Amino acid sequence: MKYTKEQVVKALSKVLYFPKGENIIALKMLDDIKIEGKKISFSIIFPKMDDKTIPLVIKASEEAIISSFGNDVKIKGNIQAKAKNTNSSLSDVKNIIAIASGKGGVGKSTVAANLAIALSKKGLKVGLIDADIYGPSIPIMFGLENERPQVKEINGKHHVIPIEKYGIKLLSIGFFVDSHQALIWRGPMASNALNQLFNDADWGELDFLIVDLPPGTGDIHLTLAQTYPVSGAIIVSTPQQVAISDVRKATSMFQQDKIMIPIIGLIENMAYFTPAELPNNKYYIFGENGCTKFADELKIPFLGQIPLVQGISESGDKGKPIALDENNPSSKAFNEIAEIIIK
């Protein structure tokens, strides 16, 4: 009997990769299929080579091939495990951190930008991807609305060079489109745009790659979770009950079987108002400690509170994130949260 690659793919579509709750074909983990007579060999790509599921997936793949082709097939010892992105632009990125929120308007992008600054100030190499495809705001927050990234050829492939400012490597869909025109894209188009920001860029060596996600849950979140080795997610909320109720949805999304991304913790933004002339005063205009109690209820870490100060909005509009100002209460809060994330 002559075997075909199509038959091999069909057989392996029954093999699940349990951390993502999907089969290895759908997750694009199959590579290098070779058929020589009755001998079948191929590679399976894993996020990391210390993945504890590697032996289980290889054994299940062997059993799937034997079940489909019979005992005469030679498959034992012919399946190799490979690390994901070993030759990609993400190969030197140590940690990918997703910044998410249950709803819009809670200051998620402000938190992402300032956390990136705070981590960089501690001597770490940091990148920031603005994955809010439909409403990119990072170019404004860094004063780069009219900037366009350069393109460089590396090993025969064209790569986008992230724009650097304040020590952060930055990429956003906002660098490539008209800022005054709405993006009317279906899910697959948005997911393809996200993949290009990851894979077609020269990120180099990074300690942290921060990803500013769109609000809510959707295609972008699923693409990120199922395609890239995300180290963990940070949820941002404000103290109001209407915002906190949506945190549960965002948290449960990352904890679903098909995603399974660890929750690093919850950040309470706009936790209280502090006037510049009275820096020790705290006015809980949206309610007190709402996110603290909710984090306890969800059994996820509470990372800290970001105060509402006049300068945080002004700094974002001027392209100078508040974390650059050492004396600002918000800057101090971001520095403390950055230390927790590093630990």
Q: Considering the chain, what percentage of its residues have pLDDT values greater than 90?
A: 37
pLDDT at 116: 96
Structure tokens at 306: 């970001």
What sign results for the dihedral spanned by CA atoms 234, 237, 241, 243?
negative
Between 257 and 253, where is the model more confident? 253
The pLDDT tens digits for 288-321 are 877 888 888 888 899 999 988 777 777 777 888 8
> 14-23, 277-286, 288-297: lowest mean pLDDT where?
277-286
Residue type at 96 in one-letter notation: I
Third-level CATH fold of 5-83: GMP Synthetase; Chain A, domain 3 (3.30.300)
The pLDDT tens digits for 219-234 are 788 788 778 888 899 9
Between 180 and 325, where is the model more confident? 325
pLDDT at 287: 78
Is residue 247 within 8 A of residue 294, CB to CB? The reply is yes
**pLDDT bracket for residue 187 (50, 70, 90):** low
- The CB density around residue 60, as the number of other CB atoms within 10 Å, is 18
Between 274 and 3, where is the model more confident? 3
**pLDDT bracket for residue 195 (50, 70, 90):** confident
**pLDDT bracket for residue 184 (50, 70, 90):** low
The pLDDT tens digits for 47-77 are 777 788 899 999 999 999 999 999 999 998 8
Place of tokens 């899910």: 187
Q: How many CA atoms, within 13 angstroms, populate the side-chain half-sphere of residue 187?
A: 8
**pLDDT bracket for residue 178 (50, 70, 90):** low
pLDDT at 206: 94
The answer, yes or no, to whether residue 181 has pLDDT greater than 70, is: no
Q: So where are the chain's domains?
A: 5-83, 93-342
Decide if domain 93-342 falls under CATH 3.40.50.300.
Answer: yes
In angstroms, rounded to a whole number, what is the distance separating the alpha carbons of residues 211 and 197?
Answer: 10
pLDDT at 87: 45
Between 163 and 288, where is the model more confident? 163
The answer, yes or no, to whether residue 154 has pLDDT greater than 90, is: no
Task: Give the per-residue SS3 of the chain.
Answer: CCCCHHHHHHHHCCCEECCCCEECCCCCCEEEEEEECCEEEEEEEECCCCCCCHHHHHHHHHHHHHHHHCCCCECCCCEEEEECCCCCCCCCEEEEEEEEECCCCCCHHHHHHHHHHHHHHCCCCEEEEECCCCCCCHHHHCCCCCCCCEEEEECCEEEEECEEECCEEEEEHHHCCCCCCCCCCCHHHHHHHHHHHHHCECCCCEEEEEEECCCCCCHHHHHHHHHCCCCEEEEEECCCHHHHHHHHHHHHHHHCCCCCCCEEEEEEEEEEECCCCCCCCCECCCCCCHHHHHHHHHCCCEEEEEEECHHHHHHHHCCCCHHHCCCCHHHHHHHHHHHHHHC
The pLDDT tens digits for 79-128 are 988 876 544 678 788 899 999 987 777 889 999 999 999 999 999 999 99
> 18-27, 244-253, 260-269: lowest mean pLDDT where?
244-253
pLDDT at 176: 78
pLDDT at 303: 94
